[in-house]
């Protein structure tokens, strides 16, 4: 076989030689020997690699006269089906699930032609990336269980390129619709963001679009007004609110009269938020983030903008020789970053590989070498996560201590200023640095005080971390806002500044995780704080409150939200799912979900990406910006009145905000055509066109026009390869499976032709580095050259060390991949995997407080009295408790916060 | 002269058997493989033959077949609903050719005139018949390796019993 033979000078490779063709046909015939006769009932049918290859090699009749081998199946949980009879023993599932995704509950069993892939016994797959088995498996052993519940063939799905709406990472997806229902989500390759894979939240949360929790009709207090009447009424209300102000400003400029406020949302598109900002005016627009979160995300955006650390792309992570994670439980806050780190840990280039002459394609060899090599992943988090098992070392401490630890590391690394505490003259020798590191550790910034008694342990740890960082030539720092600690954010940035970066960048890349799909875009757009809006309402300065795609009860304490909604006389909520906020609204307008509207979202690295409308929602559901534009027209406001298409909104955005102008250019606009044609959302074999609506009317409806995108809701259009941001499906003639992706890439594993989609809105200023080329290529252990921004004076002061108190605990947020995100919890398969509310305690604290696993514990926090079952989390530092974030029904609490234990009957 | 010949031929036709049939009192013969009204058949065991694989729908050149697959608790696939818009159907028979289970068959019935087009839309209950149609013996699930209610793994034709994956004997 040629695929594992090294090319040599003078080799000739023929893939269309008669012998090669015959050889391939024989291989396929061999694979088909035990393949069951069940393509018609197999979910892979029509997008099956084996099916494609069988057709391509021309195997038609079975010649093998003996019996077929069969296997029993496992129940693999709510995400993935299992039908082992179809297996061709290619081992892809094992290589993905165990080698790359780091799963432990899956293996190959048995011998020879009876090798079995599965779990030891029935049970849900444990990995957060199990859904990728659906795409990785070339046959139908693993398929999408949620798709099977409303099964549709690939050719019957109306698909469009979307951006995953369920975390801040901005993974690219292809979402598919049939009969007005969203039916599945597949990965869409983007070499800079998610590569070939998706997490299970991203893949299975789509059912929230179909769910019972959708708002599909306007909801008005009493009367059943039509949508247009309602908009007219609300517009008049808005006009009067503004009109009063106009008069007031004209007559008595000092007296403020009631006016509208707009509250945006991190899960609404950039266009929707911009439309709202234009409608209510910049000074009356509030971001709709929790106050603490807004501070953090705003600072994260600033840090990325100021630089010198750029946000890493997937390529930067893959090329790293060390990854340091500060305070992020990546598995749960940005799952695909977790996966990228795992994949990097498996594939990162190492010296040993070079020395032993192991080629990159030799996966088994690379894997064997990696097993012997020490890990290059270093973690400092509040509690143990799934990544801990592949880390070189982990350190768990309270957020403030993590910040102190990061600053101590930065000080230890600093080649110029020596210690952070004492202003010594700059020293450059290694020993001086080591000394300064030790001293600064002894001075206190090391966060060892609480975690494990003697300070010397902490010193040694700091020294081990520092030594690893010092040796790193291309480190990447990953931190984020999920800890809720500003100090940690600053410290992570300071540490990244002290580390060397890949050539054009002056410092190590810094990934800052933000919670929601458009958190970063919202902050870049800019607006006031929720508390300011509440204050305005309390002062009686709010006549109309416009809330878009936001459940305020998830952003602020319930009492404050209630007061706000009561004080603002008319609350208009525009959203696509039912929320608690709607209860007090005067009117609710049904918005289009992410799958029903085209919009731009900005990911945590500042990458603007267009997510295209997959399906046409039933009237009167429409995109939020259209509702706002209609309101503007009804209120006879100039802003946004003439917006007919998304491009009008984007043009206005580009005019008003030149810094956000590239957001308009991330994908071709609605007028773009390829060979005078739109790109079809439906495959050329899309079936049932003249029958699917026939039960309603035999007269087929005209396909709806799409005014917002150069995609059409029909089979007609440009059939060949579209521009990369407009790829509606991976399919090439004869390549029906997802393997057709290789036809869309510049080379296998390379970027999509025309470049991976998405434009970064934030790039740090290009700092001309003074690093000579020789220093870059040298293998010196002390690579950090002087960097402009690394002056220790600019470093933030460390926060005071965390000291555990006897009577109270510090509650830190614990995120859950299934549970912490609002929309994904409306998808039954995801909700089924979510935990119930709990309070996590360290074993020592639990013993001290007399709390036992599973028993309810009464706690008070932020004037809220809660009774929560205890979960012992051994890795939590002493004096720190954990509370799950964002679970449905749990009241909002700004974390981290002080948590008091109510003693009454808890003691045994 | 030619007039006379023409008259003679017409005269001779008086003694030929008439081709015209007194339809509908008298029915013309249509062979079993005539491509008329489409039905969904059952397998010899009385189960639905259709496994909702969508191949008829995709083969249909006028896209007049739409259906939705579902499965029972034992994993047997069947269409939750199945609709043929006969006002669009061109009776080409591609659906029958595409069907891997002999479920969809064209029958020698052409009497489908309606006053309203909407009446030409047939749902599953209008299409499903009680018998096996033209093909009497075939039962897809007896051949396919998928286990369904009443048929476990390794019980289909030409199948070995399931492998014990925890056995390590050579």
In terms of Cβ atoms closer than 10 Å to its own Cβ (0-12, 13-18, 19+), residue A291 is middle
Q: Where do the H-state alpha helices sit in A212-322?
A: 227-251, 270-280, 291-306, 314-319
Closest CA to A803 of A900, A874, A879, A901: A879
Residue A685 and residue B167: Cβ atoms within 8 Å?
Answer: no
Q: Report chain A's C-alpha Rg in angstroms.
A: 29
Q: Does A541 touch chain B (CB under 8 A)?
A: no
pLDDT value for A454: 46
A353 and A538 in contact (C-beta within 8 Å)? no
| C-beta pairs of A23-32 under 8 Å, 24+ apart in sequence | A24/A53, A24/A57, A25/A57, A25/A58, A25/A59, A28/A53, A28/A54, A28/A57, A28/A59, A29/A59, A29/A63, A29/A64, A31/A88, A32/A59, A32/A62
Give the N- to C-terminal CA distance of chain A in Å, as an integer. Answer: 69
- Pull the structure tokens for residue A395: 């350190």
CA gap A896, B9 in Å, rounded? 107
Judge whether residue A624 has pLDDT over 70: yes
Distance (Å, whole) CA A600 – CA A369: 43
Higher per-residue confidence, A458 vs A161: A161
| Confidence category of residue A887, pLDDT binned at 50, 70, 90 | very high
Q: Which residue of A has its CA nearest to B79?
A: A151
Is the pLDDT confidence value at A551 over 80? Answer: yes
Tell me: the pLDDT tens digits for A529-539?
999 999 999 98
Lowest mean pLDDT across A218-222, A398-402, A439-443: A439-443
DSSP assignment of A777-797, as one string?
H---S------GGG-GGGSPP
Nearest to A271 by CA among A760, A615, A646, A761: A646
HEC-encoded secondary structure of A842-898: CHHHHHHHCCCECCEEEEEECCEEEEEEEEECCCCCCCEEEEECCCCCCCCCCCCEE
Structure token pair of residue A453: 């008694």
Residues 6+ apart with CB under 8 A from A583: none
Backbone angles phi, psi at A209, to 5 degrees: -70, -35
The first and second tokens of residue A237, run together, are 């209300």
pLDDT digits (tens, 9 = 90+) for A405-435: 999 999 998 754 333 333 333 333 344 444 4
Flag if A114 and B165 touch (Cβ within 8 Å). yes
Q: What is the pLDDT of residue A416?
A: 42
> Closest-CA residue in chain A for B60?
A687
Q: CA-CA distance, B130 to A364, in Å (whole number)?
A: 57
- Please say whether the dihedral angle defined by the alpha carbons of residues A534, A548, A481 and A653, taken in this order, is positive or negative: negative
Task: Of A547, A581, A661, give the one whose Cα is nearest residue A284.
Answer: A547
Q: Does A113 touch chain B (CB under 8 A)?
A: no
Summarize pLDDT for A598-620 with one digit per residue, the tens: 999 999 999 999 999 999 999 88
Instruction: For CA atoms A866, A870, A876, A880, give the dihedral sign.
Output: positive
What stretches of A710-779 show up as alpha helix (H) in DSSP? 773-777
- What integer is the mean pLDDT of A13-28? 91
> Considering only CA atoms, which of A678, A763, A775, A670 is closest in space to residue A728?
A678
Q: What pLDDT, on the 0 to 100 scale, is given for residue A584?
A: 86
CATH dotted code for B38-156? 3.30.70.3270
pLDDT in tens, B1-43: 899 999 999 999 999 988 888 888 988 889 999 999 999 999 9
- A688 and B57 in contact by Cβ < 8 A? yes
Contact list, B74 vs chain A (CB under 8 Å): none
The most confident of the ranges A5-14, A774-783, A893-902, B112-121 is B112-121
Alpha-carbon span A439 to A255, nearest angstrom: 60
A743: closest CA of chain B, how far (Å): 24
Q: What is the ipTM of this complex?
A: 0.89
- Cis preceding-peptide flag for A620 (omega within 30 of 0): yes
Set out the domains of chain A in order of their start, with CATH numbers: 18-143 (no CATH), 295-516 (3.40.228), 808-901 (2.40.40.20)
Report the alpha-carbon distance of residue A69 to residue B146 in Å, rounded: 13
The Cα A32–Cα A610 span in angstroms is 42
Instruction: Mutate one of A32, A35, A38 to test the B interface: name it (highest B CB count within 10 A).
Output: A38
CA A35 to CA B169: how far, in whole Å? Answer: 23
> Of A723, A753, A602, A662, whose CA–CA distance to A193 is shortest?
A602
A803 touches chain B (CB under 8 A): no
* Number of other residues whose CB lies within 10 A of the CB of residue A20: 13
Q: Are A864 and A900 in contact (CB under 8 A)?
A: no
Mean pLDDT for the stretch of residues A633-653: 84
Q: What is the C-alpha to C-alpha distance for residues A751 and A758, in angstroms, rounded to an integer?
A: 12
Angle CA A483–A485–A489, to nearest 5: 100
Q: How far apart are the CA of B158 and the nearest CA of chain A, in angstroms?
A: 5
pLDDT digits (tens, 9 = 90+) for A792-811: 457 888 888 888 887 789 99
Which of A36, A71, A179 is the closest to B162 by Cβ?
Answer: A71
Size of interface A-B (CB pairs under 8 A): 136
B154 and A69 in contact (C-beta within 8 Å)? Answer: no
Angle at the Cα of A564 from the Cα atoms of A560 and A569, rounded to 5 degrees: 160
Instruction: Give pLDDT tens digits for A767-795.
Output: 544 444 433 333 333 334 444 444 445 78
For A568-691, where are the alpha helices, taking DSSP H only? 624-634, 646-656
End-to-end CA distance of chain B: 97
Q: Is A311 exposed, middle or buried (0-12, 13-18, 19+ CB in 10 A)?
A: buried
Cross-chain Cβ contact A70/B154 below 8 Å: yes
Q: What is the pLDDT of residue A904?
A: 57
**Mutation target among B51, B54, B62, B122 for the A interface, most CBs of A within 10 A:** B54
Query: What are A23-37's pLDDT values in tens digits?
Result: 999 999 999 999 998
Average of per-residue pLDDT across A718-735 = 92
Please tell me if residue A687 touches chain B, with a CB cutoff of 8 Å. Answer: yes
Please tell me which residue of chain B has the smallest CA distance to A85.
B145
Res A242: pLDDT = 66
What percent of chain B is predicted at pLDDT more than 90?
74
| Alpha-carbon span A478 to A498, nearest angstrom | 14
Q: Let me know the angle formed at the C-alpha of A197 by A193 and A201, rounded to the nearest 5 degrees.
A: 95
Are A79 and A829 in contact by the 8 Å Cβ rule? The answer is yes
Domain positions in chain B are 38-156
What is the distance between the alpha carbons of residues A447 and A404, in angstroms, rounded to a whole number?
6
> What single string gives the DSSP state of each residue in A12-51?
---SSSHHHHHHHHHHHHHHTTT--S-GGG-TTTTS-HHH
Lowest mean pLDDT among A255-269, A710-724, B129-143: A255-269
The pLDDT of residue A2: 59
* Those residues with Cβ within 8 angstroms of residue A302's Cβ, 6 or more apart along the chain or in another chain: none
Q: pLDDT averaged over chain A?
A: 86
Q: Is the dihedral of CA A557, A563, A568, A570 positive or negative?
A: positive
For A444-487, the pLDDT digits (tens) are 443 333 344 445 678 899 999 999 999 998 999 999 999 999 99
* Cβ–Cβ gap A697/B118 under 8 Å: yes
| CA–CA gap between residue A498 and residue A411 (Å, rounded) | 8
List the structure tokens of A543: 């006549």
């Amino acid at each position: 076989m040629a695929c594992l033979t090294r090319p040599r000078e003078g080799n000739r490779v023929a893939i269309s030689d008669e012998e090669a063709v015959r050889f391939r046909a024989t291989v396929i015939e061999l694979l088909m020997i035990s393949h069951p006769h069940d393509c018609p009932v197999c979910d892979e049918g029509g997008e099956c690699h084996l099916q494609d290859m069988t057709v391509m090699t021309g195997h038609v009749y079975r010649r093998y006269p003996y019996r077929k081998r069969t296997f029993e199946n496992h129940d693999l949980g709510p995400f993935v089906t299992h039908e082992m009879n179809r297996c061709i023993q290619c081992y892809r599932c094992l290589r993905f699930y165990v080698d790359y995704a780091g799963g432990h509950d899956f293996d190959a069993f048995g011998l020879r032609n009876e090798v079995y892939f599965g779990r030891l016994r029935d049970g849900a797959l444990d990995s957060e990336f199990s859904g990728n088995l659906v795409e990785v498996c070339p046959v139908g052993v693993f398929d999408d269980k949620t798709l099977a519940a409303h099964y549709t063939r690939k050719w019957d799905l109306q698909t469009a390129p979307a951006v995953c709406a369920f975390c801040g990472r901005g993974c690219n997806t292809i979402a598919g619709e049939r009969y007005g229902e969203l039916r599945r989500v597949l990965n869409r390759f983007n070499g800079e963001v998610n590569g070939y894979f998706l997490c299970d939240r991203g893949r299975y949360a789509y059912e929230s679009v179909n769910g019972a929790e959708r708002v599909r009709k306007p909801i008005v207090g009493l009367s059943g007004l039509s949508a247009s009447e309602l908009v007219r009424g609300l517009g008049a209300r808005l006009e009067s609110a503004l009109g009063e102000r106009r008069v007031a400003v004209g007559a008595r400029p000092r007296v403020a009269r009631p006016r509208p406020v707009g509250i945006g949302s991190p899960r609404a598109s950039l266009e929707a938020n911009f439309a709202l900002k234009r409608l209510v005016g910049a000074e009356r627009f509030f971001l709709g983030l929790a106050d603490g979160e807004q501070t953090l995300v705003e600072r994260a955006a600033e840090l990325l903008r100021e630089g010198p650390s750029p946000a890493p792309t997937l390529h930067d992570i893959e090329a790293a020789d060390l990854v340091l994670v500060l305070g992020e439980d990546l598995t749960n806050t940005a799952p695909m970053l977790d996966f990228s780190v795992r994949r990097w840990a498996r594939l990162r280039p190492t010296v040993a590989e070079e020395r032993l002459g192991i080629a990159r394609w030799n996966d088994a060899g690379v894997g064997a070498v990696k097993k012997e090599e020490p890990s290059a992943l270093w973690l400092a988090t509040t509690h143990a996560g799934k990544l801990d098992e592949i880390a070189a070392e982990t350190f768990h401490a309270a957020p403030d201590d993590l910040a102190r630890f990061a600053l101590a590391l930065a000080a230890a690394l600093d080649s110029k200023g020596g210690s952070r505490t004492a202003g010594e003259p700059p020293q450059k020798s290694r020993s001086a640095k080591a000394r300064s590191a030790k001293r600064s550790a002894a001075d206190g910034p090391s966060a060892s005080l609480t975690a494990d008694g003697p300070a010397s342990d902490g010193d040694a740890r700091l020294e081990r971390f520092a030594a690893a960082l010092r040796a790193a030539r291309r480190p990447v720092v990953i931190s984020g806002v999920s800890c809720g600690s500003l100090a940690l954010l600053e410290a992570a940035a300071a540490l990244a500044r002290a580390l060397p970066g890949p050539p054009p960048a002056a410092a190590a890349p810094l990934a800052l995780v933000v919670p929601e799909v458009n958190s970063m875009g919202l902050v870049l757009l800019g607006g006031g704080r929720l508390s300011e809006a509440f204050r305005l309402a309390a002062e009686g300065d709010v006549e109309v409150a416009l809330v878009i795609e936001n459940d305020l009860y998830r952003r602020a304490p319930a009492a404050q939200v209630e007061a706000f909604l009561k004080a603002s006389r008319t609350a208009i909520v525009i959203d696509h799912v039912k929320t608690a906020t709607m209860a007090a609204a005067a009117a609710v307008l049904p918005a289009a979900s992410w799958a029903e509207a085209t919009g731009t979202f900005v990911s945590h690295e500042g990458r603007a990406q267009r997510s295209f409308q997959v399906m046409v929602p039933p009237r009167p559901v429409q995109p939020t910006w259209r509702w706002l534009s209609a309101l503007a027209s009804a209120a006879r406001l100039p802003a946004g009145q003439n917006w007919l298409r998304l491009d009008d909104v984007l043009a206005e955005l580009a005019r008003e905000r030149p810094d956000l102008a590239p957001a308009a250019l991330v994908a071709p606009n609605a007028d773009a055509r390829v060979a005078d044609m739109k790109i079809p959302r439906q495959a050329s074999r899309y079936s049932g066109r003249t029958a699917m609506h026939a039960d309603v009317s035999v007269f087929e409806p005209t396909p709806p026009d799409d005014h917002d995108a150069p995609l059409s809701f029909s089979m007609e259009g440009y059939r060949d390869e579209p521009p990369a941001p407009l790829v509606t499906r991976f399919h090439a003639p004869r390549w029906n499976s997802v393997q057709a992706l290789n036809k869309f890439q510049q080379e296998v594993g390379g970027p999509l032709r025309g470049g991976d989609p998405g434009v970064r809105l934030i790039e740090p200023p290009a700092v001309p580095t003074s690093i000579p080329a020789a220093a870059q290529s040298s293998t010196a252990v002390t690579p950090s050259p002087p960097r402009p921004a690394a002056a220790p004076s600019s470093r933030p002061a460390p926060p005071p060390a965390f000291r555990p108190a006897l009577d109270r605990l510090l509650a830190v947020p614990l995120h859950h991949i299934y549970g912490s995100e609002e929309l994904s919890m409306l998808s039954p398969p995801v909700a089924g995997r979510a935990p119930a509310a709990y309070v996590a305690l360290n074993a020592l604290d639990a013993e001290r407080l007399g709390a036992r696993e599973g028993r309810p514990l009464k706690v008070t926090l932020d004037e809220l009295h809660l009774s929560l079952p205890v979960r012992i989390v051994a890795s939590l530092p002493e004096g720190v408790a954990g509370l799950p974030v964002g679970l449905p029904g749990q009241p909002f609490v700004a974390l981290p916060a002080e948590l008091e234990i109510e003693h009454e009957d808890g003691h045994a | 002269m030619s007039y006379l010949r023409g008259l003679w031929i017409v005269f001779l036709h008086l003694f030929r058997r008439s081709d015209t049939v007194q339809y509908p009192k008298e029915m013309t013969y249509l062979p079993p493989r005539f491509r008329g009204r489409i039905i969904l058949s059952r397998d010899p065991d009385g189960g639905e033959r259709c496994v909702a694989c969508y191949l008829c729908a995709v083969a249909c050149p006028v896209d007049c077949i739409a259906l939705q697959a579902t499965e029972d608790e034992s994993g047997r696939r069947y269409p939750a609903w199945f609709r043929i818009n006969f006002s669009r159907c061109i009776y080409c028979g591609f659906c029958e050719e595409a069907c891997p289970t002999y479920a969809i068959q064209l029958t020698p019935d052409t009497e489908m005139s309606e006053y309203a087009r909407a009446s030409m839309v047939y749902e599953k209950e209008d299409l499903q018949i009680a018998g096996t149609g033209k093909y009497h013996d075939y039962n897809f699930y007896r051949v396919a390796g998928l286990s369904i209610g009443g048929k476990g793994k390794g019980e289909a034709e030409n199948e070995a019993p399931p492998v014990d994956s925890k056995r390590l004997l050579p």
